[in-house]
Amino acid sequence: MADTTADTPVCDVEGTCYCPLTGVIDTLSRKYAMQLVSIIGAHDTLRFAEIEEHLPTASTSTISKRLDEFEDAGLISRTQYNEIPPRVEYALTEEGSEVRTRLEPLLEWATENR
């Protein structure tokens, strides 16, 4: 009984309320997504196999999918070197770094309280 229009989100409360929040949060709301941003951010660049070592419980295909999604979302860059055997390096973009910075307090707490 607060808003007058039908499709306005009901966010008229004390404090900030993140109602139908989409975008980056959807990308981060998937398995291993937050850990992955943090792991890449802890290094300058990382190769696929190194990421797998850091996230041993995640399947190859899931890591691959997360990386694609992050690239689409502009959170990471993918640099491919045309050598044999192939070499690919992943790194956070500026946006990705910003996300990682804001993710750290949460992950830190979660690490201490598991």
Partner DNA sequence: TCTTATACTTCGAAGTCCAAAGTTATGGAG
Partner DNA sequence: CTCCATAACTTTGGACTTCGAAGTATAAGA
> Does position 20 bind DNA by CB under 7 A?
no
* Interface positions, 24-43, toward DNA (CB under 7 A): 30-32
- 79: nearest Cα among 65, 91, 67, 68: 91
# binding residues, a second copy (CB under 8 A)? 51
Name the minimum Å distance from CB 54 to DNA.
13
The Cα 65–Cα 62 span in angstroms is 5
Sorted by sequence, the CB contacts under 8 Å of residue 96 that are 6+ apart come out as 37, 40, 41, 70, 74, 75, 76
Name the minimum Å distance from CB 9 to a second copy.
7
In contact, 52 and 82? CB cutoff 8 Å:
no
* Interface positions, 47-76, toward DNA (CB under 7 A): 47-49, 57-62, 64-65, 67-68
Q: Which residues here bind DNA, judged by CB under 7 A?
A: 30-32, 47-49, 57-62, 64-65, 67-68, 78, 84-88
